[in-house]
Structure 1
């Protein structure tokens, strides 16, 4: 019985800490499938996936910078919105939902010259402010 308790205590000590809720106006990073709560849980932001990424590969010389699409889901003030945010400023890089502005600051990593970024490796840097 003592061994079981020691094993359980060891597992508890290595568990990941609870995610920290970012502050409004402070840039934060999400991985695909991650969700954060902001402004006292009045706002929930989730990073869905990256369905398209035509950005110029790292180290390449490109005529056009390309674009990547980041799917987000935002719930605020009873409103739920699914949006596609873009890395290229010629397209929508942000969305306003329920009195909040959600902006895509950047998407990492850049595509490698020899292929695509594995879906789980993407990181979206976001900024949320009051609209």
Structure 2
């Protein structure tokens, strides 16, 4: 009986800690900012946007692909960059999505649409681009608002 009471106590305590409910609530290791639906927002890698009224968080994870034609170069194709985001909805779980600077620029997550508006800076010929310089300009809308 004592084992069951102990186990029940541990489960109750862990259940009260938001880190176990939402893997990256506002207490993530990176910076966070509050924003609202239908508002343009900008994230750096590791930064999280918190939509408090919706219970949604969006974190800019990385740029796994960067093949855009650098400024100062002559290219036959514009190239593309891919932005990797992790999105969570309180009580519903999380997922990772990738948005492209060409297509697809949008992805659906539950009843929301996430759109990549811009990724900056643009590569420059003969210059190494540091990942910490990336800024993803995004917007999230209710899926039926389009």
Once the two structures are TM-superposed, the CA of residue 61 in structure 1 deviates from its matched residue by 2.8
Q: Provide the C-alpha distance between the structure 2 equivalents of 1:48 and 1:39, rounded to a whole number of angstroms.
A: 20
Which one of 102, 118, 138 corresponds to residue 88 of structure 1? 102
Contact 1:79 1:97 in 2 (8 A): no
- Equivalent residue, structure 2, for 1:128: 140
Once the two structures are TM-superposed, the CA of residue 115 in structure 1 deviates from its matched residue by 3.4
Give the RMSD, CA atoms, in angstroms: 1.7
- Equivalent residue, structure 1, for 2:59: 46
Contact 2:108 2:114 in 1 (8 A): yes
TM-score, normalisation: structure 2: 0.71
When residues 105 and 72 of structure 1 are mapped into structure 2, their CA distance, relative to the original with a 3 A threshold, is same
TM-score, normalisation: structure 1: 0.78
Higher RCO, 1 or 2 (CA under 8 Å, sep at least 6)? 1
Gap runs ≥5 in structure 1:
1-17
Gap runs ≥5 in structure 2:
1-30
- Equivalent residue, structure 1, for 2:25: none
Which one of 61, 65, 75 corresponds to residue 88 of structure 2? 75
